[in-house]
Structure 1
Amino acid sequence: MTTLEFSYSLNKASGSLKPFAMRLTRDADDANDLLQDTILKAFSNKEKFAEGTNLKAWLYTIMRNTFITNYQRAVRRGTFVDTTDNLHYINSGGQAIENGAFGAFALTDIQVAIDKLDDVYKTPFQMFFRGFKYHEIADELRIPIGTVKNRIHIARKLLKDALEVYMHKN
């Protein structure tokens, strides 16, 4: 495939990449940056593309891997991005005071919600929370692993419903 053909195919396929970038980043500017990085990497590595294979799949893979790499790099760096309109957090000078009472109320409410669960759901959930693996819980409780996963899932759903007051809505 010539450079011109590759460029044409890349340009044609890039239209379907923008919605995927938006789903990954949830921000228009970041999505545009991710799309640009993806196209640049694809063009720089065009010799690695096997002609006759799915170009879109190759581009989606590049985009996903680029997003993951960038995310991991940001986490390692401990980067804080202030998204407030007036850059409130950057200008706050690090003088933040936290109210520990809110955390104490939340912990109390969480424990109450867990205590209200039926033992069938509470026991596997607490074991999983303490670090037991699914198969260890299944062996200990003498139930199938699928049942363990189902009960933990139900416990999480019940707790989510019971603690809905703590859900942050944007």
Structure 2
Amino acid sequence: MTIDSSLRDHMLRATPNLRAFAISLTSNVDRADDLVQETLVRAIANIHRFQPGTNMQAWLFTILRNLFHSEYRKRRREVEDADGKYAATLAVQPAQGAHLDFDDLQKALARLPHDQREALLLVGASGFSYEQAAEICGCAVGTIKSRVNRARTRLAELMRLEDLEEELGPDRLTLSALQAVA
């Protein structure tokens, strides 16, 4: 792209003032130089928007200021971690374990007798009370409680879970978060 030589000269004359302004905004010479460079690149790319006869320096300062604020908003969400120490402290549980556990659960549920699976899913997964589940199944509340208990015990056996409370309850991370809130 070619630009008029008088516009180019105006840009070059404004560069020291742009740099001083950028340094005052960033307090960092390297970041200021990058900001001035990006300002000039944007100005050249958008030179068709410049109104001849208006103040070129004001136009460039506006571009620089807008770039600085855009960069500031972006950087505000970033964490500086040049040596990677912060990133090394972050950990995410592997996702495939949950998928495998869910597959195991589906297979074990399929092996339960229909009445036990139905009672367990109504109470455990759907959140119905024992009374509501009994009404849905057309049986006594005690029968539902018995079916749910037998289903939980059988499910634990099928999935080879030693301690039913520990394995089916919240994990350690969730428990510590719940304790911190309480």
Name the TM-score, length of structure 2 as normaliser: 0.44
Larger Rg: 2
TM-score, L = length of structure 1: 0.47
